[in-house]
C-alpha cells in the first residue's frame, strides 16, 4: 500500500548564520513568520518551542519553510540531500519582476530561462543553497 500524500507540509533548511539567512529570506520573499522564539521568552516558552532549534519558520500559505542554524560547512547540491528548492509563481511576468527585485537587493541570479514546459529563475541564498522560481507556460 502506498502512502497517500497530497502536498509538502514543510521543509527546513539548515543554515550557518540565522541572522544573515533571515535577512535574506525576509527581504527576498517577505514571508510572514509562523513560529520563532521571542527574544524576551521565558524558560517555559523556550522549552515549548524547543523544536525550532534556534531558528524560524515561515508561513507560505499552506506550506511552511523553516531555517535552522547549524555548523559552518556550506551547501553542495552534489552531495546526498537537497539539490534545490523551487517556488511556484503565477507567470513569466512574475519571474521578470522577481529578477528586478533580486537586482534591487544585489542578489546574483541567472537570467529567466525557458526550459520547455516552464520558465525558471535560479539564484542562491547566503549558504549557497540553490533556489529557483518557476512558472508554468
Kindly report, residue by residue over 117-126, the tens digit of the pLDDT.
Answer: 999 999 999 9
Strand partners, 89: none
In a domain, 77, yes or no: no
Strand partners, 35: 57
**Spatial distance between the Cα atoms of 41 and 54, rounded to a whole number of angstroms:** 12
**Spatial distance between the Cα atoms of 128 and 136, rounded to a whole number of angstroms:** 25
Cα R_g (the chain), whole angstroms: 16
Does this model's pTM top 0.85? My answer is yes
Q: What count of other Cβ atoms lies within 10 Å of the Cβ of residue 19?
A: 9
Q: Report how many domains make up the chain.
A: 2
Kindly state whether residues 66 and 108 are assigned to the same domain. Answer: no
Looking at residue 131, its pLDDT comes to 97
In a domain, 3, yes or no: no
Which residue range forms the structural domain that includes residue 105?
82-137
Mean pLDDT for the chain overall: 93
Looking at residue 77, its pLDDT comes to 75
Residue 20: strand, helix, or coil: helix
In a domain, 1, yes or no: no
Kindly state whether residues 22 and 40 are assigned to the same domain. Answer: yes
Region 12-34: mean pLDDT is 96
**Spatial distance between the Cα atoms of 65 and 7, rounded to a whole number of angstroms:** 13
Among candidate residues 108, 115, 109, the one with its CA nearest the CA of residue 92: 115
Select from 20, 38, 72 the last residue of a domain. Answer: 72
Looking at residue 78, its pLDDT comes to 78
Select from 72, 95, 123 the last residue of a domain. Answer: 72
CATH of the domain at 58: 3.10.180.10
Kindly state whether residues 12 and 68 are assigned to the same domain. Answer: yes
Assess contact for 62 and 8: CB atoms under 8 A: no
Which 8-state DSSP code applies to residue 109? B
Kindly state whether residues 30 and 63 are assigned to the same domain. Answer: yes
When pLDDT is cut at 50, 70 and 90, the band that residue 81 belongs to is confident
42-59 pLDDT per residue, tens? 999 999 999 999 999 999
Q: 52 or 1: whose pLDDT is higher?
A: 52
Matching residue, cell 522564539: 37
In a domain, 88, yes or no: yes
In a domain, 124, yes or no: yes
Amino acid at each position: 500500500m502506498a502512502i497517500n500524500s497530497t502536498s509538502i507540509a514543510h521543509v527546513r533548511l539548515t543554515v550557518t548564520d540565522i541572522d544573515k539567512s533571515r535577512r535574506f529570506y525576509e527581504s527576498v520573499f517577505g514571508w510572514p513568520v509562523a513560529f520563532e522564539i521571542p527574544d524576551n521568552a521565558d524558560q517555559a516558552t523556550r522549552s515549548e518551542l524547543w523544536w525550532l532549534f534556534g531558528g524560524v519558520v515561515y508561513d507560505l500559505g499552506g506550506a511552511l519553510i523553516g531555517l535552522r542554524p547549524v555548523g559552518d560547512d556550506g551547501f553542495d547540491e552534489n552531495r546526498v540531500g537537497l539539490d534545490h528548492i523551487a517556488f511556484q509563481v503565477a507567470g513569466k511576468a512574475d519571474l521578470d519582476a522577481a529578477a528586478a527585485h533580486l537586482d534591487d537587493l544585489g542578489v546574483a541570479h541567472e537570467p529567466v530561462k525557458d526550459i520547455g514546459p516552464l520558465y525558471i529563475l535560479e539564484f542562491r541564498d547566503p549558504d549557497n543553497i540553490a533556489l529557483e522560481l518557476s512558472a508554468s507556460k
